[in-house]
Amino acid sequence: MKATMLTSLMAYSYSTGERERKILIMDREFTLQVLYRLCFAWPLTSWDFFRRFMGVLNGLGFFDEDFEHFGT
């Protein structure tokens, strides 16, 4: 259930006549090195951000128990 909520915007099934999707391999090492040499770095995630993020998930009902899906 929770995975369905988080992946609801992504489609994994193929329709008739639709081409297969492939995940492209990416390497971001070069880009990161260039950015670091330009003195750019991403800050660490703060506890305030984490609390707000968890509050949003809670507000969306992500942590609510849904007993129908568990067969009880």
Do the domain assignments include residue 18?
no
Do the domain assignments include residue 72?
yes
Tokens (6 digits) for 65: 């128990």
Verdict on whether the full-model pTM lies above 0.75? no
Do the domain assignments include residue 37?
no
Do the domain assignments include residue 23?
no
For 5-32, the pLDDT digits (tens) are 555 545 555 566 777 777 778 888 999 8
User: Total structural domains in the chain?
Assistant: 1
Do the domain assignments include residue 19?
no
Do the domain assignments include residue 28?
no
Do the domain assignments include residue 33?
no
Range of the domain at 68: 1-12+44-72
More confident site: 66 or 70: 66
27 vs 35: CA distance, rounded Å: 14
Distances (CA, A) of 28 to 22, 33, 43, 44: 18, 9, 18, 18
